């Protein structure tokens, strides 16, 4: 069974700080990696996608991918109370088609 693992949290950071969210995955054949944000009772909303090793930056968000270590991370700079949500790591299991396998999510709380 292919797995995506995340620390469930909650991760608490003060407003303006950097939040660091981590994810590991078991399938070495995975090709596409996504971070979604989910507010309570709402649907997953895309934050970042990353396909190649290294860093990818978009505004206050930076995704990092290390395929050798099977590790994906998301950094949120200048965290805001509105960033408080559950962050879902999702991996596209290319070998088996195009389904996304989700981690259980990390709850982030940004305190003002």
Partner 1 sequence: EPEVTQTPSHQVTQMGQEVILRCVPISNHLYFYWYRQILGQKVEFLVSFYNNEISEKSEIFDDQFSVERPDGSNFTLKIRSTKLEDSAMYFCASSISTTDTQYFGPGTRLTVL
Residues forming contacts to partner 1 in the complex (CB under 8 A) are 31-32, 34, 36, 42-46, 49, 51, 88, 90, 92, 94, 96-105
Nearer to partner 1, 15 or 95 (CB): 95
Give min distance, CB of 41 to partner 1, in A: 8
Give min distance, CB of 112 to partner 1, in A: 26
Kind of pairing, strands 54-58 and 61-66? Answer: antiparallel
Kind of pairing, strands 71-76 and 54-58? Answer: unpaired
CA distance 106 to 89: 9
């Amino acid at each position: 069974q292919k797995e995506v693992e995340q620390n469930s949290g909650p991760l608490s950071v003060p407003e303006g700080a950097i939040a660091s969210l981590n994810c590991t995955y078991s399938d070495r054949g995975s090709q596409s990696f996504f971070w979604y944000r989910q507010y309570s009772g709402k649907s997953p909303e895309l934050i970042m996608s990353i396909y190649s090793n290294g860093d990818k930056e978009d505004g206050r968000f930076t995704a990092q991918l290390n395929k050798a270590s099977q590790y994906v991370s998301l950094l949120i700079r200048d965290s805001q109370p509105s960033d408080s949500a559950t962050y879902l790591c999702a991996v596209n299991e290319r070998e088996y088609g195009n389904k996304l396998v989700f981690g259980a999510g990390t709850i982030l709380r940004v305190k003002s």
